[in-house]
Amino acid sequence: MKASSANQLDRGGNYWRSGLVIASLLLAGQTVYFEGTAFSRNPAFRPSLEKLCRQLNCRLPVYKNPVEFTVLQGSLIALPDRSQLFRTVIRNRAAFAQPYPNLELTLLDYAENPFARRIFRPQDYLAKTLPATSAMLPDATAAISLNIAPPKTKVGGYTFKLI
């Protein structure tokens, strides 16, 4: 009877080990599924994930993290024809190339109330020689100029953010 009890205990232990392995694999799969994008944005994990994907013949999502862009300067200049010229210089501080960001420009009146807002996509502000699908290299800068049609309200200021 002792040998039979030992076999049953051993089989029970194998079931628990198998269950633990399956549960661990499910947890790893769920982590990759739900948090994969966050891992691929993390500079500590990205190089390893890129190597792994090359071996598995898969593709990581494009690295995109707008908070890693820095606005070095920005200005809004009134032109003689009442149109406005918006200029800015941005830098990609990320350790990886990433797509050019969308730019949200909001014009304000003298009471600081917004009266015009527009989101400019890369194809709106990139030079015609540079495809809008191109990526901005790490530590690269880009000078952006946008001509804005003459507004009906006098411009008292602006806000600008990268999204």
Domain boundaries, given as residue ranges, for the chain: 2-56, 66-162
The strand pairing partners of 160, in sequence order, are: 105
Per-residue pLDDT of 9-37, as tens digits, reads 566 678 888 889 999 989 987 887 788 77
Using a pLDDT cut of 70, give the percent of the chain over it.
90
Residue 132 confidence (pLDDT)? 62
Nearest residue to 104 (alpha-carbon basis) of 90, 85, 91, 121: 121
The whole-model pTM stands at 0.70
Per-residue pLDDT of 68-118, as tens digits, reads 999 999 999 999 999 999 999 999 999 889 999 999 999 999 999 999 999
Confidence of residue 45 (pLDDT cuts 50, 70, 90): confident
Locate 18 and state its tokens: 């198998």
Q: Tell me yes or no: is domain 66-162 CATH 2.60.40.
A: yes
